[in-house]
């Protein structure tokens, strides 16, 4: 890959259906909201330019200012190897170049960027411009951190020559080859930079797309992913409370509970594993009748209750749950790490559209937003830009787009031909 050509990579967010914070099992599906990363030449080949307007962060590093010498003995630049934990020496060296990132969300994103950059690219790689736009809400439970990590890992892997540009069309079934495993593994390292101790489910879905039953194993053994090809088409309402929170804080709090009340916390996590497996057994049926859906709704209710017990709900999430209960619209659980962000409601059969409309009106009184999204779509994707495309679609134009529709119409995976998948 030459560094004077431009390209875009993209990856979806996810919704966890069952088992967030789980010790072992969780089920998640890709959503149609996605992150897009445009890689274009930098005006000065010395400059590595990061543009993350979703979090108001722009930064330029001189290539020579990165601590290549100091980290060289800790990493293998010819054949990058992921590690169980982030390499502390590399993290420490990079922290020096991040000292002007005062906000935690800036530090997390830039740290993930640099950690992947120095592992996957070399000192002599000409500087480029990396411009990210997401149609996902950031820090709201829909896997924005994994989605950006997959974009960065796949872009750096292409430029570094570690993977080939994707070739599958949207109608091909994914082959889940070495390249997508490489991207998945490195995006997991990016997730670790953003939230410490991730399970890997978010980056797995953001890389491979579709829907999975995910089984976390002991850290040295790879997790087990079971694709759910017949993922049922469920009527789900996705509501963003807009209450900000950080996954790292919530995950940290659950691990504190595990230390302070080991048996109690373990029992809650075990219960969550059992219910996730019960949900899985229901969801893999060839078709779901009303009774099955009623059971899934009950499992939503139990799952949310267990998450409340783990201390990861929030009064605004309870408001969403209470409103859907009061109007008898369906059963609601938080999704993602909780503490704010999004909730999903599994809607009862035969609910009148007018009732849903009145719920959404009520939501807007509280400042909540609902999303329309389909589940189980494609994972990581690649779009080569021709010379002509690059003139029509450069980073300035990318940065000017404001609404989700504008981004999707200009570049969207489901709107523009030419996208390829791994
Ligand atoms: N488009 C983006 N641009 C820049 N940084 C981003 C972007 N998307 C995610 N991030 C980084 O990821 C962080 C949010 O990750 P976090 O794990 O807290 O939430 P989430 O991934 O949206 O939700 P969840 O982990 O519960 O699914 C942001 O603070 C930022 O550091
Ligand atoms: C809270 C959590 O279960 C999901 C965050 O989307 C953490 C993880 O599995 O990485
Ligand atoms: Mg996250």
Give Rg (Cα) of the chain.
21
d(CA 150, CA 189): 10
pLDDT of 388:
83
Dihedral, CA of residue 217, residue 223, residue 226 and residue 231, to nearest 10: 90
- Residue 73 is encoded by which pair of tokens? 């003995």
- The answer to whether the predicted template modeling score (pTM) of the entire model surpasses 0.90 is yes
Res 12 pLDDT > 70: yes
Structure-model confidence comparison of residues 15 and 350, the more confident one: 15
> 386 near 15, Cβ under 8 Å?
no
Q: Is 336 in the pocket of ligand 2 (CB under 6 A)?
A: yes
pLDDT band at 246 (very low <50, low <70, confident <90, very high): very high
DSSP letters along 10-43, please?
EEEEEEEEE-TT-SSEEEEEEEEEEEEEEEEE-S
> 40 near 128, Cβ under 8 Å?
yes
Sign of CA dihedral 421, 179, 211, 343: negative
Long-range contacts of 392-396 (CB under 8 A, 24+ apart): 393/6, 393/38, 394/6, 394/40, 395/38, 395/40, 395/51, 395/129, 395/131
Q: What percent of the chain has pLDDT over 70?
A: 99
Res 310 pLDDT > 70: yes
pLDDT of 5:
84
Determine whether 202 is an active site residue: yes
Structure-model confidence comparison of residues 301 and 229, the more confident one: 301
275 in helix, strand or coil? Answer: helix
d(CA 256, CA 252): 6
d(CA 12, CA 143): 8
Mean pLDDT of the 286-293 span: 94
Considering every ligand atom, which ligand is closest to the CA of 200?
2
**C-alpha 73 to ligand 3 mean position (Å):** 30
Q: What percent of the chain has pLDDT over 90?
A: 87
Per residue in 81-139, pLDDT (tens digit) is 999 999 999 999 999 999 989 999 999 999 999 999 999 999 999 999 999 999 999 99
- Lowest-confidence region among 177-181, 366-370, 390-394: 390-394
Res 145 pLDDT > 60: yes
Res 402 pLDDT > 90: no
Output the CA–CA distances (angstroms, integers) from residue 285 to 205, 231, 280, 281, in the order listed: 21, 9, 9, 7
Mean pLDDT of the 374-381 span: 94
> 110 near 50, Cβ under 8 Å?
yes
Res 176 pLDDT > 70: yes
Structure-model confidence comparison of residues 171 and 89, the more confident one: 89
Pick the residue whose CA is nearest to atom 10 on ligand 2: 198
Res 2 pLDDT > 80: no
Q: Is 303 in the pocket of ligand 2 (CB under 6 A)?
A: no
* H helical segments located in 27-143: 68-71, 88-97, 104-120
Of the candidates 179, 184, 202, 389, the residue annotated as catalytic is 202
DSSP letters along 192-204, please?
HHHHSS--SHHHH
pLDDT band at 1 (very low <50, low <70, confident <90, very high): low
Per residue in 53-84, pLDDT (tens digit) is 999 999 999 999 999 999 999 999 889 999 99
Q: Is 338 in the pocket of ligand 2 (CB under 6 A)?
A: no
Q: Is 20 in the pocket of ligand 2 (CB under 6 A)?
A: yes
d(CA 34, CA 413): 9
> How much is the mean pLDDT over the chain?
94
Mean pLDDT of the 145-168 span: 96
Q: Is 199 in the pocket of ligand 2 (CB under 6 A)?
A: yes
Mean pLDDT of the 180-194 span: 97
Q: What are phi and psi of 334, to 5 degrees?
A: -70, 160
pLDDT band at 170 (very low <50, low <70, confident <90, very high): confident
DSSP state of 375: B
d(CA 297, CA 403): 33
**Nearest atom, ligand 2, residue 14 CA:** 6
Sign of CA dihedral 206, 208, 213, 215: negative
Ligand 1: which of 34, 59, 144 to mutate, most ligand atoms within 8 Å of CB? 144
Considering every ligand atom, which ligand is closest to the CA of 197?
2
CA 115 from chain centre, in angstroms, equals 18
Q: How many angstroms separate the first and last alpha carbons of the chain?
A: 16
Question: What is the ipTM for the molecules in this complex?
Answer: 0.99
Q: Is 198 in the pocket of ligand 2 (CB under 6 A)?
A: yes
DSSP state of 325: H
DSSP letters along 136-162, please?
SPTTSSS-HHHHHHHHHHHHHHHHTTS
- Residue 190 is encoded by which pair of tokens? 């990016």
pLDDT band at 18 (very low <50, low <70, confident <90, very high): very high
d(CA 417, CA 422): 16
pLDDT of 3:
54
Ligand 1: which of 107, 139, 241, 243 to mutate, most ligand atoms within 8 Å of CB? 139
pLDDT band at 195 (very low <50, low <70, confident <90, very high): confident
For tokens 């996590």, name the residue: 269
């Amino acid at each position: 890959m030459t560094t004077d050509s431009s390209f875009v990579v993209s990856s979806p967010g996810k919704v966890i259906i069952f088992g967030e914070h789980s010790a072992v099992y969780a089920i998640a599906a890709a959503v149609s909201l996605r992150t897009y990363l445009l890689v274009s030449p930098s005006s000065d080949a010395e400059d590595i330019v990061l543009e993350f307007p979703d979090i108001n962060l722009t930064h330029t590093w001189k290539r020579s200012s990165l601590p290549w010498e100091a980290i060289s003995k800790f990493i293998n630049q010819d054949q990058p190897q992921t590690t169980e934990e982030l390499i502390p020496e590399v993290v420490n060296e990079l922290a020096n170049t991040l000292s002007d990132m005062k906000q935690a969300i800036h530090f997390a994103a830039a740290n993930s960027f640099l950690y992947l950059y120095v592992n996957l690219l070399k000192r002599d790689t000409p500087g480029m411009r990396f411009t990210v736009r997401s149609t996902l809400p950031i820090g709201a439970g829909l896997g924005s951190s994994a989605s950006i990590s997959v974009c960065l890992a796949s872009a750096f892997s292409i430029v570094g020559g570690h993977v080939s540009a994707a070739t599958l069309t949207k109608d091909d079934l994914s082959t889940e080859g070495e390249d997508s495993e490489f991207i998945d593994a490195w995006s997991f390292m990016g997730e670790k930079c953003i939230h410490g101790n991730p399970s890997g489910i978010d980056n797995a879905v953001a890389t491979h797309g579709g829907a999975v039953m995910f089984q976390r194993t002991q850290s040295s053994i790879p997790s087990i992913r079971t694709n759910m090809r017949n993922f049922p088409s469920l009527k789900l309402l996705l509501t963003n409370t807009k209450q900000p929170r950080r996954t790292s804080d919530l995950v940290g709090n659950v691990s504190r509970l595990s230390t302070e009340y080991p048996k109690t916390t373990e029992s809650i996590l075990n219960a969550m594993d059992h219910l996730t497996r019960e949900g899985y057994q229901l969801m893999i049926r060839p078709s779901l009748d009303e009774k099955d859906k009623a059971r899934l709704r009950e499992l939503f209710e139990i799952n949310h209750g267990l998450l409340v017990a783990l201390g990861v709900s929030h009064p605004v999430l309870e408001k969403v749950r209470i409103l859907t209960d009061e109007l008898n619209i369906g059963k609601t659980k938080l999704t993602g790490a909780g503490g704010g962000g999004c909730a999903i409601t599994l809607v009862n059969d035969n609910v009148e559209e007018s009732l849903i409309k009145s719920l959404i009106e009520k939501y807007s009184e509280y400042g909540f937003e609902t999303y329309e999204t389909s589940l189980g779509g494609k994972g990581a994707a690649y779009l080569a830009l021709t010379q002509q495309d690059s003139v029509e679609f450069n980073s300035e134009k990318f940065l000017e787009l404001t609404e989700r529709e504008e981004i999707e119409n200009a570049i969207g995976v489901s709107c523009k031909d030419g996208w390829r998948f791994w």
